[in-house]
Structure 1
Amino acid sequence: MLTFAPGPSKVYDALSDYLQDAVREGILSANHRSGPFMQMYQETEALMRQKLHMPEDYVLLFTSSATENWEIISQSIVESASFHIYSGSFGGKWVKFAQHIIPESKALKIAANEAIQVSLLDIPEQFDLIAITQNETSNASQVPMSVIAEIKEKFPEKMIAVDTTSSMAGIELDFSLADIWYASVQKCFGLPAGLGLLMLSPKAIEKCEQKGEEGRYNSLSFMLENARGYQTHYTPNVLGIYLLNRVLKDMPEIQHIDSNLRERMNKLENCIANTTSLRMLVDNEATRSTTVMGVTGSESLITKVKKEALEAGFQLGSGYGPLKPTSFRIANFPAITDYEMNGLIEFLSKY
């Protein structure tokens, strides 16, 4: 069964080889204070710069998940309150995490088809961090880099944190536009779940030091102290980091992946547009995700398509939350081959 669920999604076909190599090389038994682990950490960070264009002065940290990063950001970086801009369920969950730690945090919810009007944004001085869900997995929408650039220009004194859980390693991100970026590996990285990534700019590190929060398991100051020596604060997911290292080594530079995924998404969009009974969940091209396609229709039709897809060997991702009965989602992640995507497009074209 070939899965097109948007996470956990299909892993890279080479994963079985990577796993065997991990056992043979003995890295799974490496202590996280040991030379082999520190070398792997350092090499993985260098590969993030080379393949994903992470800036030279940004730091890579490993966490358990993207969700953990919500807590770390509010706990260790935000001083007064955060202001969240979101359109769907995952952005809404980030707000709730933030408000649990800092109740004064606020949010602006927009529709999936609604472009952020930066010129109309009014974010008071009390909010020292702007939180943006760049790719909203639940409704297949996204915020373009151009909009994040506008926000940065309008609010240069504020920190910006960006959720790229379903887009990092799939589209080219301009990391210089924000101070904090995070993701998980079970989507565009084509790996099993269980590893989160957190990137910090020098400004974010300075803000962490200024706040001085410490004493918790995932206090950022504790994490950064260990990262300076390419170590982690506690025993990490060594296998996950090894697999990430191998994927980064084998993948092309991000601009090539970006170009291919945009081309594939265009084919998928044309397919849905030419059907008689299905339509795209996000009909505003400016806010439609490049890596997750949302398709909507009547409840009976969606049930029928998902059932027939399973019979044809394709597992479609269910709609999320209130959208579940009347939609399904399709991952356009790099681990899915062009041949596999073309097969799904051919299947969907009959509707």
Structure 2
Amino acid sequence: MLTFAPGPSKVYDALSTYLQDAFNEGILSANHRSGPFMKLYQETESLMRQKLHMPEDYSLLFTSSATENWEIISQSIVESASFHIYSGSFGKKWIGFAQHIIPGSGGIKIDANEEIDVENLEISEEFDLIALTQNETANASQVPMSVIEAIKEKFPEKMIAVDTTSSMAGIEFDFSLADIWYASVQKCFGLPAGLGILILSPKAIEKTERKGENGRYNSLNFMIENARGYQTHYTPNVLGIYLLNRVLKDMPEIQHIDANLRVRMHKLENCIAKTKSLRMLVTNDATRSTTVMGVTGPEEVITKVKSEAKAAGMELGSGYGPLKPTSFRIANFPAITNEEMDRLIEFLSKY
């Protein structure tokens, strides 16, 4: 079954080769304090710079998931409170985690079709970090780099943290626009779930050290201390890191992936626009995701499309939360080939 679910999504076709190589190379038995693991960590960080254009002075850390990063940010980086700008369920969950740790955390909810009004955005001094969900998987919306740049220019004294769970390794980022970026690997990286990525600027590390939080197992100061020697604070998902390394080695530079995904999404948008019964969930192209397409329609039509797609060997992602009965989601992730996307577009065009 070819899956277009937006995570966990289709893994790269070369994964079976990577898994066998991991076994043959003995990396699965490598101690995380050993030379082979430290070399793997260092090489993977270098590949993140080469392929995703992560800045030279930014650091790569490994966690268990993007969800864990929500907790780490509030626990170890935020000094006063975080201010969240979000439009969907995952952004809402992030602020919920933040308020559990720091009750004074706040924010604003916007509509998926609504652009952030940076000019009139007011964030008081009590908030020292701005939290953005760059790509909201639940409703297929996104925040463009230009908006993050405008927020950075307006609030230079505040740190910016960006959730890129369903867009990192799919679209090109300007990492210099924020100090904290994070993701999980089960979406655009085309890998099985179980590994989180946390990228920090020197300013974020300095802020972490200034706060000095060391009271928990996943305290960021503890993680940073180990990462400086290309080690982790706990026995990590070595296989996940190895697979990430292999994907980064084999993938084109991010600008080429970005260009291809945008062409494919444009074709998909044109297809949906021409159908009789289906419409794009996000109608504003300025806030529509590049990596996740939300499609809406009458409940009976959505049920029929999903059922007939499955009969044709294709699985569509269900709508999320309250959107489930009247929508489905399509992953436009790099592990899905152009031929596979064309097959889906041809299938959808009959509706």
User: Normalized against structure 2, the TM-score is what?
Assistant: 1.00
Partner of 2:194 in structure 1? 194
> Residues of 1 paired with 2:252 and 2:113: CA distance?
32
Residue pairs, 1:282-321, within 5 angstroms: 282-321=282-321
Mark the runs of 5 or more structure 1 residues left unpaired by the alignment: none
Residue pairs, 1:141-156, within 5 angstroms: 141-156=141-156
Aligned-partner residue type, residue 260 of structure 1: N
Partner of 1:134 in structure 2? 134
Partner of 1:268 in structure 2? 268
Partner of 2:7 in structure 1? 7
Partner of 2:230 in structure 1? 230
Partner deviation per Cα, 1:227-276 (whole Å, 9 max, x = no partner) = 00000000000000000000000000000000000000000000000001
Aligned-partner residue type, residue 219 of structure 1: S
Partner of 1:34 in structure 2? 34
Aligned-partner residue type, residue 46 of structure 2: A
The two structures, once aligned, show a CA RMSD in angstroms of 0.3
* Alignment coverage as a number of residue pairs: 351
Partner deviation per Cα, 1:274-294 (whole Å, 9 max, x = no partner) = 001100000000000000000
Partner of 1:323 in structure 2? 323
- 3-state DSSP class of the match of 1:287? coil
Aligned-partner residue type, residue 326 of structure 1: T
Matched, 1:281 2:281: yes
Residue pairs, 1:68-83, within 5 angstroms: 68-83=68-83
Alpha-carbon offset, residue 195 of structure 1: 0.1
Partner of 1:338 in structure 2? 338
- 3-state DSSP class of the match of 1:8? coil
- 3-state DSSP class of the match of 2:300? helix
Alpha-carbon offset, residue 146 of structure 1: 0.1
Aligned-partner residue type, residue 205 of structure 2: I
> Residues of 2 paired with 1:240 and 1:178: CA distance?
26
Alpha-carbon offset, residue 313 of structure 1: 0.7
Partner of 1:90 in structure 2? 90
User: Normalized against structure 1, the TM-score is what?
Assistant: 1.00
Aligned-partner residue type, residue 160 of structure 2: I
Identity %: 85
Partner of 2:168 in structure 1? 168
Aligned-partner residue type, residue 57 of structure 1: D
Alpha-carbon offset, residue 298 of structure 1: 0.6
> Residues of 2 paired with 1:269 and 1:196: CA distance?
30
Mark the runs of 5 or more structure 2 residues left unpaired by the alignment: none
> Residues of 1 paired with 2:107 and 2:296: CA distance?
27
Alpha-carbon offset, residue 107 of structure 1: 1.3
